[in-house]
């Protein structure tokens, strides 16, 4: 699945910043193809308000 960072992590709690970094995203507009595994789905769910997800 493809994820894109749509909102900034500035001012977000540390765990959300680290989750976005773990997904491999650094700045707004960055996209990445990630595997559709339970671990990745959990990370995406944690920061879903910052991301755009495409199947």
Helices vs strands, H then E, count in the chain: 2, 3
The arrangement of secondary structure in 2-54, i.e. its CATH architecture, is: 2-Layer Sandwich (3.30)
**Which tens digit of pLDDT belongs to each residue from 7-18?**
999 999 999 999
Other Cβ atoms less than 10 A from the Cβ of 16: the count is 15
At 1 the three-state DSSP class reads: coil
**Which tens digit of pLDDT belongs to each residue from 30-44?**
999 999 999 999 999
Q: 38-46 and 14-22 helices cross at what angle (nearest 10)?
A: 140
Helix (H) or strand (E) holding 55: none
pTM: 0.92
Domain residue extents for the chain: 2-54
């Amino acid at each position: 699945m493809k994820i894109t960072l749509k909102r900034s992590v500035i001012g977000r709690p540390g765990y959300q910043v680290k989750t976005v970094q773990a997904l491999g995203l650094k700045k707004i507009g960055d996209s990445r193809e990630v595997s559709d595994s339970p671990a990745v789905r959990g990370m995406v769910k944690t920061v879903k308000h910052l991301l755009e997800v495409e199947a």
